[in-house]
Every structure is written in structure tokens, then in C-alpha cells.
A = this chain, B = another copy of it.
Amino acid sequence: MATLNDCRERDAQDPLRALREHFMLPEGLVYLDGNSLGVLPRAAPARMAQAVGEEWGRGLIGSWNEAGWYALPTRVGDKIGRLVGAAPGEVVTTDSTSVNLFKVLSAALSMVAQDAPGRRVIVSERDNFPTDLYIAEALCRERGFTLRLVDEPDALADALQPDVALLMLTQVNYRTGALHDMAQLSAQAHACGALAVWDLAHSAGAVPVDLHAGGADFAVGCGYKYLNGGPGAPAFVWVHPRHVDRFWQPLAGWWSHAAPFEFTPGYQPAAGIARYLCGTPPVLSLTALECGVDTVLAAEPLGGMAALREKSLALTDLFIALVESRCAGHGLSLVTPREHARRGSQVCLARAEGAYAIVQALIARGVVGDFRAGDAARGREDILRFGFTPLYLGFEDVWQAVEQLVQVLETGEWRRPDFNRKQAVT
């Protein structure tokens, strides 16, 4: 079993180690929650001060042209495109993941209604991130479609019947960290005559994604997780070029217009992905997002997403091995798939009791993960969730996290009442 010294040696030999310098990691903190909110990029404070003080403060309205605000959604979109296998001009950053999902589902359902009006079902997983299900539910209600939810990924193939319009999946599950095979599932959807809509919230910047090779028709993703874009960072949206000009999306705000500054009363959608913009985008949040995306692009000369993926799997392999050897007998069970091809960049541990309090006790010891509630009715235990961002985490961090977990379990300190009081958001 790996020792602390082994871990330190692996860090010393890690070719990606220098990327950690792109972040402002609080001293002494082992931050395993980058799958919820990525760490502050070192460049962000000065860049934000410039955007606020110079661009807004001095440039004022002129900064739409002179500081490049107008181009931000496409400029940052193109950068994200490099991480997910999209060509320049195929991605824009704007609005939230939920809003962008509404746009792509709306357009996709319009396409299906025209091309294959008998198809009235959206297939997804009951364990998909809830906002995806809520948005789909709302659109099903509006448009007369039905949501067909499966309980296990293995059931997806059977659910893809001839009545299916869309397969809508999140590539990496937010609770379990299980990774779908995008190419295989997109192909199954297409074979059944359906379109494939992918949410990359937990995969963009975390695992290699190739939307074209993966057969995706539409995709959205989140800016504030592995893209390190800051709290509530704008999200991104991609549409396959063969679909993008076929339909409007109904959030037809002026930024999606072919000529927004002509101020004409009739709507004409812009060509290409710009028609998936809507209103004026939040420039300051987009500026922070650009700093975050740049931290991921900084890995390009070092092997890019493939190198990050290799390190991510090494980190999660190590975490799993250390937990299974050092915490044996403490009631933790591995939820995340052991197989590399089915694992994202996080590890989830289930426990029948005390998961919330153990997470709190770990936070008090400087190891930040998070908690996700189980579902007793479906036999799902509560979960301790640990995200591993290879950009700023090392092997010693993994060792320290497990060391603190051992302490929390062996001392029983998680039973303290203050670790059992829930807060509004966790």
C-alpha cells in the first residue's frame, strides 16, 4: 500500500504539478469539491479588477467594442470548444445550464415534431441531475411529450423504443461519478431514430469529450465546476452544425437576432450558434469564466485533457485503494465504478448512517468534500462525494484526505451534535 512518502514522490515526478500554480488554493486545505465549485484561478483577481475598474469604470459603454465584451460569449465558447471536441464557432457561453438545456430541448423537440411527429418520448435516468429532469418535465408538459425515466443505466437500451424522440443524459452522474459511453449511447439513440442530448456539467474539463466523435446532437455544460469559472458562472451550449440553422429556440432575445443593433421589430435568428444566445450576457461573470477556462487550456502543452485524464484516474485509483485498505470495517462502500472507462473524476462512498456528519467533520479538519442525500425508497444510501481536479490536486492531497477520514471514523468525532446540523446548502 502507498505511503505518504510514495505520494510525495509521485507529486515530485508529476509533469502536471506546475499547473497547481495557476490557482489560489487556501493554505492547508485539501479541496475535493471542484466538482461543485472550482478553485479561484490565480489570474482572476487582477483580471476582475481590470474588468471592473478599467473596462467598466473608465471604458464604460465603449468597452462593448474596445474591451471585447461583445465577443465574450463566442470567444470563451471557442475556448471551451477545444475541451469538448467542438470546432470554432460551434459553442457560446451564456445563461445557466438549465436555461441552455431549455433552448436545446425546445429546438430538438421542434425538429422531431417536424421530422418524426409520432415520437413523443424523452428518455433519461431517474438519477439524472434534477434540473435536467425538471426542464424536460416542463417542456413535455408544454409540448405534449412524455418523460421515460430508467432506474439503471443498463435499462437505457430497452427504453429506446420507436416512440422515442430524444435521449437526454448527463455524461457523468453528479452523485455517483459514473461515466456514460457517449459514442455508444448516441449510436443507440440514432439507431432507434432518436436524437442525443448531452449535459457535460461533470465532464467538461474533467474527462476527454469529443462531441463530434461521440455522435452528440446537442450539448450543454456548466462553467463553475471543472472549468473553474466562479460561483454561478455562465454555462455553455453546443449544437451540431447540421442542426443549428434548422430551428429557432424560443428564448429568442435580441442577442440571438441576426442584426441585434438594427433594432428591427421582427425576429430573424442569427446564423449558427449565436441564435442560442438570448439577452445581454453577464460580462463580469463571463470574464471570470474565461480565467477559469484558461486554467484548463494551460494543460494543452502538457498533453491537455488526455494527460489530465491520466492523472485524474491515478488520483481516484489511489483514493479508492487507500480508503478500502485504511477504512475497512467502517461501513463505507464504493459507489463509483471501479472500471476506468465508466468513472468520471470523482469518487463517491455510501454509508448507511452519518454521511452528512462525516463530511462536516472532514471539513472541520480541512478536507472539503460534500454530501448528497440517498433515497431510502430506492435502496440508495447517503453519499460522501469527493471530486478530484487534477489541475490543482496532488497525490499527497489524496493521502491527507484519507488520513483525515481515518481519524474522523476512528475517533467517532462525527457523532458530535454540531456536525449533524444541516445548513441551507451543502
A96 to B255, CA, bound (A): 11
**A230 CB–B CB distance under 8 Å:** yes
Shortest Cβ distance from residue A150 to the other chain B in the assembled complex, whole angstroms: 12
**A331 CB–B CB distance under 8 Å:** no
Q: What 0/1 readout, one digit per residue, does chain A (186-230) give for beta carbons within 8 Å of chain B?
A: 000000000000000000000000000000000000001000001
Q: Are A70 and B282 in contact (CB under 8 A)?
A: no
Chain B residues, CB < 8 A from A36? 61
Chain B residues, CB < 8 A from A253? 96, 98-99, 131, 134-135
A355 to B129, CA, bound (A): 52
Q: What 0/1 readout, one digit per residue, does chain A (281-294) give for beta carbons within 8 Å of chain B?
A: 11111101000000
Closest Cβ neighbor of A63 among chain B residues: B231
Q: Are B278 and A96 in contact (CB under 8 A)?
A: yes
**A243 CB–B CB distance under 8 Å:** no
Chain B residues, CB < 8 A from A116? none
**A49 CB–B CB distance under 8 Å:** yes
**Interface footprint category on A:** 35 or more
A324 to B316, CA, bound (A): 74
A374 to B319, CA, bound (A): 65
Chain B residues, CB < 8 A from A60? 26, 29, 31, 33, 37, 39-40, 368
- Return the contact of A52 from the options B48, B234, B281 (Cβ within 8 A): B48
A76 to B396, CA, bound (A): 42
Closest Cβ neighbor of A27 among chain B residues: B58
**Which of A152-160, A260-268, A296-304, A335-343 lies at the interface with chain B?**
A260-268
A144 to B419, CA, bound (A): 54
**A246 CB–B CB distance under 8 Å:** no
Q: Are A424 and B230 in contact (CB under 8 A)?
A: no
Chain B residues, CB < 8 A from A425? 64-65, 70, 261
Shortest Cβ distance from residue A404 to the other chain B in the assembled complex, whole angstroms: 17
Shortest Cβ distance from residue A424 to the other chain B in the assembled complex, whole angstroms: 6
Given A52-B44, A232-B286, A278 contacting B98 (CB threshold 8 A) = yes
For window 76-119 of A, CB contacts with B under 8 Å fall at 95-99, 102
Shortest Cβ distance from residue A277 to the other chain B in the assembled complex, whole angstroms: 9
- Return the contact of A48 from the options B48, B232, B263 (Cβ within 8 A): B48
Q: Are A232 and B133 in contact (CB under 8 A)?
A: no
A423 to B370, CA, bound (A): 48
Q: Are B52 and A230 in contact (CB under 8 A)?
A: yes
A233 to B283, CA, bound (A): 8
Q: Are B231 and A283 in contact (CB under 8 A)?
A: yes
**A15 CB–B CB distance under 8 Å:** no
Q: Are A130 and B284 in contact (CB under 8 A)?
A: no
Q: Are B99 and A135 in contact (CB under 8 A)?
A: no
- Return the contact of A133 from the options B95, B265, B284 (Cβ within 8 A): B265
Given A98-B253, A264-B130, A230 contacting B139 (CB threshold 8 A) = no
Q: Are A424 and B70 in contact (CB under 8 A)?
A: yes
Closest Cβ neighbor of A425 among chain B residues: B64
Given A252-B134, A253-B134, A230 contacting B284 (CB threshold 8 A) = yes
**A372 CB–B CB distance under 8 Å:** yes
Chain B residues, CB < 8 A from A53? 24, 40, 45
Q: What 0/1 readout, one digit per residue, does chain A (244-260) give for beta carbons within 8 Å of chain B?
A: 00001011111111001
Closest Cβ neighbor of A137 among chain B residues: B267
Chain B residues, CB < 8 A from A230? 52, 56, 283-284
**A142 CB–B CB distance under 8 Å:** yes
**A406 CB–B CB distance under 8 Å:** no
**A57 CB–B CB distance under 8 Å:** yes
- Return the contact of A368 from the options B56, B61, B284 (Cβ within 8 A): B61
Q: Are B368 and A139 in contact (CB under 8 A)?
A: no
A387 to B266, CA, bound (A): 26
